[in-house]
Chain A
């Protein structure tokens, strides 16, 4: 990484409440331009919290977050983030086109420019012709594609995805994985992707960041050297299976598997404290 990193985290710690749960402890991570980074770990390892800190949705207790050479706050004001949640969080009173165009509206784009870009985005996520549909008329997978189109519409430097395909069935999920890689390739953006699924992480990423709970921390980083572009065949390669084993080993070394059950409670606690 000779270029300046898109995201640089140093000594990031997050504590909820005074003397409460330590969601993250001393996280250090640099992410380069165009990388696809997965954050993986059991519930309660703080991966979603880390994503929110990068996106300036919550503040770290201590530590530095630098995005594109500026503070996370400034990056948010500059609209450097596109965010996709597990639920599509589409506005049901807006049509598909108006949902995708919302960030552009807020950025003050003209109606004409907006229309043009929305059509580009609809093409990108293969939903052309659905402009005037309302979200409830679409399937879950289609809704999530609209959500991705909305996140990318203003061409943010960084795409933050919090288990975006977690609520979808396996087949839809695999298809959207391929589609996401195509979009990533076409848009050239940098992606941080939170997931529970080891195979999804390995399949998508250039690097898999393995985290473990109590306190949440990074216990290892696995470089994924599978050739690009990834295809439906990638999953059948022996190297794919090896990498999955490696991620699994790293998870286990961090106590990830044993912690799974206790972790759920902790995540619920954190969610409660965040008021979500």
Chain B
């Protein structure tokens, strides 16, 4: 009797998954091709008709060809220098280091805040306004202060870029705190009653019910935070005067935009790729960690 009820694993499940994967890749490439075509079409129409959006005039300086942007990656950045892509990959790795540390710090801090607030209505009412307020202050206004406060206290290995990680953490913790708080309160009330009937400690309730119940919320937040931490790291590099990351590269190529616009565009491309990589890592972690009924998986 039992065997009938259990969902049987079809032998073709593997083939099915391969097909689904291929379809997904095809969709991705298709969308990419459409976006590329739209970019080039807009550029072509703009250049041939000479139309303007306000003062925005379409030409190779304001809107270079995408293939030029990609092409410039594989040219030397200066005479006899390394290829631009090598420089940008190094910069991206440096920024990734800052963003990853900031992401980890921010996620831990946000999680800890959520756990504390979930257990005390008083704390929640008292602190929530300030947590929200923390995010209404522009990061650019905070970043120089963080650099001044944090940098002198950093150990040698973290000098300069440690402050950038703290700035990235500042952007990361908020979505994690808010969503985890929501997730911790999403546990089934009867599940909590069951735990009560097992005479379980608050600690056990937290780790065996509340935290597992919060995981889908936590990961939704981590996805937002993953990209935010990259943005935070890039912005943080500016006031921290860190030259080795993508922020430094952006500042640098910004100065030469008039003569070589494709380099800044290429830097943006690499920055976007870094953000997407962070996002995908979180998605992969979610797949590995969160076990849910298929209908409950977002």
Q: Which residues of A come within 8 Å of B, CB atoms?
A: 55-57, 76-79, 81-83, 85, 87, 89, 91-93, 102-103, 105-107, 127, 129-130, 133-139, 142, 154, 275-276
Contact = CB atoms under 8 A, between A and B. Distances in A.
B287 interface: no
Contact of A81 (B5, B197, B290, B293): B197
A76 B196 contact: yes
5 closest A-B pairs by CB: A136-B293, A139-B5, A93-B291, A106-B200, A103-B198
B122 interface: no
Interface string B1-45: 010011100000000000000000000000000000000000000
B176 to A, nearest CB: 20
Contacts, number: 72
Given A87-B190, A137-B6, A137-B7, A92 B197 contact: no
Contacts of B198: 79, 102-103, 106-107, 154
Contact of A134 (B196, B212, B293): B293
Interface residues of B, number: 28
Classify the secondary structure of A's interface with B: loop
Given A55-B197, A106-B204, A92 B5 contact: no
Contact of B199 (A79, A82, A102, A127): A79
25 contacts: A55-B197, A56-B197, A77-B199, A78-B199, A79-B198, A82-B197, A92-B291, A92-B296, A93-B212, A93-B290, A93-B291, A105-B208, A106-B195, A106-B204, A130-B6, A133-B6, A134-B293, A136-B293, A136-B294, A138-B5, A138-B6, A139-B5, A142-B5, A276-B189, A276-B190
Contacts of B193: 57, 83
Contacts of A135: 293
Contacts of B190: 85, 87, 89, 276
Nearest to A82: B197
Interface in B159-197: 188-191, 193-197
Given A55-B197, A77-B199, A127 B2 contact: yes
A91 B5 contact: no
A93 B292 CA distance: 6
Contacts of A139: 5
A129 B3 CA distance: 10
Contact of A130 (B2, B200, B204): B2
A83 B291 CA distance: 25
A189 to B, nearest CB: 14
Given A83-B194, A91-B208, A106-B195, 7 more contacts: A77-B199, A81-B197, A89-B191, A93-B212, A102-B198, A134-B291, A136-B295
